[in-house]
Chains A and B, each alone.
Chain A
């Protein structure tokens, strides 16, 4: 059974760097079929695609976050990461990791990250 689980800080200050981990079980991140994806949801808002990384390490980021966002993978430990620099209050959101292709078939439960000034 495929499972994803996010972990990381829940409270941050502005201008700090956010680092989140998505631990994957039931499938290998080495699989060539999937895009390992980060999605977030601002309080009371819809979903926002942040970016993804493929098994080969190719990444694609939301242009609105270009320069601030890095997604990487640790194949040996079957997990992938999100790193977002210079966070602001506007980055307060629930962050989800998901397995993607043309849709997102497995998601983590999400982790709430609150940024304060």
Chain B
């Protein structure tokens, strides 16, 4: 069982926006803003999309955005494209003896 909770799947049509949630606890990103999002496509290395809740690394499309409210973080993908089909994971620093934890992943299907 993952420390962070994500929906198993989401779907959307090209051009639409979707949001993936990530629920944590007081020991992780609800206290520390070290929440990140990763895109993972089969056979490829996971790719950092968002760090520190809202920041995009250089080169990541502005269609990807992150936010947080309390113990729920969200990844929003706007103007969905077929190439966005992938698994998405949230990850967070924690103040426990396991300093980094991840969600179970959300499979995005572009219809």
A and B are partners in one complex rather than unrelated chains: yes
A96 contacts B46, C-beta separation under 8 Å: yes
Question: What is the total number of residues of chain B having a CB less than 8 Å from a CB of chain A?
Answer: 25
CA distance A15 to B91 in the complex (A): 31
A47 contacts B105, C-beta separation under 8 Å: yes
Chain A interface, DSSP helix/strand/loop, else mixed: strand
B99 contacts A48, C-beta separation under 8 Å: no
Chain B contacts with A in 53-111, Cβ cutoff 8 A: 57, 89, 91, 93, 97-105
Question: What is the total number of residues of chain A having a CB less than 8 Å from a CB of chain B?
Answer: 24
26 A-B pairs whose Cβ atoms sit less than 8 Å apart in the complex: A39-B102, A46-B2, A46-B89, A46-B104, A47-B38, A47-B46, A47-B89, A47-B91, A49-B101, A63-B98, A96-B45, A96-B46, A100-B100, A102-B93, A103-B48, A103-B51, A104-B36, A104-B48, A105-B57, A106-B45, A106-B48, A107-B45, A107-B47, A108-B45, A109-B44, A110-B45
